[in-house]
Amino acid sequence: MLAMGRIEVNELETAMSQTTTPQVGDAAPAAKPLAISLAEYVRGLSPEDKQVVFLALLREALEFNGDSGLLPIEDEAGKPFGYYVPPKAAQTLSDQTWNEMPASVRDAMNRPVKNLDNCISADQMLDLLSREPGSPPR
């Protein structure tokens, strides 16, 4: 079983709102109340700055929870929002799946494709998987 960790949006926002900002001339950092929520602040950032914030938070979550298991992400109401799958966890899951696969299936998957006209690209497969049930392919 892989280790599981959690990112909870409310805890993150609360923790970040309790951070302090040192002021010039202050002997100790002083807490500053936020005029807007952190979510509103982030919404106002440029896409590049949002990427920087996202990566910093993700790295911190991985430091806290480890990078060898799936990282479930919950919304403000505690409902499942999705998962982040770190590269180590993805490799572990891939290796486990491959090892549990019957030898005949592994052999078939290792054979070169005889007719490329019977294949679709990874982009086409993702398109098929992401479309709504019953809707035509894009």
| DSSP codes, 4-53 | ---EEHHHHHHHHHT-EE--TT-SS-EE---SS-HHHHHHTS-HHHHHHH
Query: What pLDDT is attached to residue 16?
Result: 46
Is residue 56 in a domain?
yes
Is residue 23 in a domain?
no
Is residue 53 in a domain?
yes
Is residue 94 in a domain?
yes
| Beta-carbon-side half-sphere exposure of residue 18 (alpha carbons within 13 Å) | 6
Rounded distance between C-alpha atoms, residue 9 and residue 71, angstroms: 13
State the total domains in the chain: 1
Full-prediction pTM beyond 0.85? no
Query: What pLDDT is attached to residue 60?
Result: 92
Query: What pLDDT is attached to residue 43?
Result: 93
Query: What pLDDT is attached to residue 14?
Result: 45
Is residue 27 in a domain?
no
Is residue 25 in a domain?
no
74 three-class SS: strand
Per-residue confidence of the chain (138 residues) as pLDDT tens digits?
Answer: 233 444 444 444 444 444 444 344 445 556 666 688 888 999 999 999 999 999 999 999 889 888 888 888 998 899 999 999 988 889 999 999 999 999 999 999 888 888 888 888 889 988 888 888 877 766
Domain range holding 39? 1-18+32-138
Asked if 61 contacts 71 with a C-beta cutoff of 8 angstroms, the reply is yes
**Tally of CB atoms within 10 A around 96:** 11
